[in-house]
């Protein structure tokens, strides 16, 4: 069934329903379908890079919070776009760790050779974080800054993960970008009606303000600054 046929089917079902709850649930489910399709086509429109990188300018949040000589560990570095931009800001070492090996290969293809202070490596932050010293010439596990851009929401035991990162990496601050539950009214209504409301099926959580503050407190992190932007929470947190 093509997209137009699906749309006609949804419209037909909606017109045949006299129950507002049923009608709303159907339309919200269709909203999820559209979001998925739009995201997929948007990447093609951006020649392999989602337009949100350009439109929301979220890279600037990370770059602006990094000093020119600060070492950076980007956990869940994906295709390396943020990692590269940060490496252009600092003269210190910038390392991206990514679970998806194909993403690491693509990141290296895009950015290897462009910055001497930039390294991409394949690893799982849940089990490999204490192996940092084996990846570095100075056998150190310390980085000044940790970046977690759309990463934390994919993790299960987030509090212990964050405690472990702080213990091993000893960063001065951690920079977070995470999806915001209170981004629009449809999200809690989807939850209320039993419609999938996560932006990604692999998410474990999409945070309210209260949930984020509580989790940071449980992880012994202090929220130094926080703002909601483009349906996301952008936060700077400091180990206590």
Token pair belonging to 229:
């932007």
Task: Domain of residue 19: give its range.
Answer: 3-45
Token pair belonging to 192:
């209320």
Burial of 115 (0-12, 13-18, 19+ CB in 10 A): middle
- How many domains in the chain? 2
136 and 70 together in one domain = yes
Confidence at residue 1, expressed as pLDDT on a 0 to 100 scale? 43
98 and 165 together in one domain = yes
50 located within any domain: no
- Residue 214 belongs to domain with CATH number: 3.40.50.150
100 and 124 together in one domain = yes
30 and 73 together in one domain = no
24 and 97 together in one domain = no
53 located within any domain: no
40 and 65 together in one domain = no
Confidence at residue 150, expressed as pLDDT on a 0 to 100 scale? 94
173 located within any domain: yes
78 located within any domain: yes
192 and 220 together in one domain = yes
Residues of the chain with pLDDT under 50: 1
Q: How far is it, in rounded angstroms, from Cα 119 to Cα 133?
A: 14
Rg (CA), the chain: 20
119 and 179 together in one domain = yes
């Amino acid at each position: 069934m093509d997209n137009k046929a699906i749309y006609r089917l949804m419209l037909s079902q909606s017109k045949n329903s006299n129950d507002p709850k049923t009608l709303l649930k159907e339309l919200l489910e269709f909203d999820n379908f559209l979001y998925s399709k739009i995201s997929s086509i948007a990447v093609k429109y951006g020649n392999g890079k989602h337009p949100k990188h350009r439109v929301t300018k979220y890279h600037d949040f990370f770059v602006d919070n990094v000093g020119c000589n600060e070492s950076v560990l980007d956990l869940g570095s994906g295709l390396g776009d943020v990692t590269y931009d940060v490496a252009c800001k600092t003269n210190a070492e910038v390392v991206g760790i990514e679970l998806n090996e194909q993403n690491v290969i693509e990141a290296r293809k895009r950015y290897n050779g462009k910055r001497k202070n930039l390294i991409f490596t394949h690893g799982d932050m849940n089990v490999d974080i204490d192996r940092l010293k084996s990846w570095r010439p100075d056998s150190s596990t310390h980085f000044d800054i940790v970046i977690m851009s759309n990463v934390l929401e994919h993790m299960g035991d987030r509090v212990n993960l964050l405690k472990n990162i702080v213990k091993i990496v000893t960063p001065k601050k951690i920079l977070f970008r995470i999806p915001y539950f209170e981004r629009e009214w449809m999200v809690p209504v989807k939850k209320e009606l039993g419609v999938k409301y996560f932006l990604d099926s692999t998410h474990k959580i999409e945070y309210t303000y209260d949930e984020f503050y509580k989790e940071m407190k449980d992880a012994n992190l202090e929220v130094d600054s926080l703002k909601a932007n483009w349906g996301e929470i952008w936060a700077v947190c400091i180990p206590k």
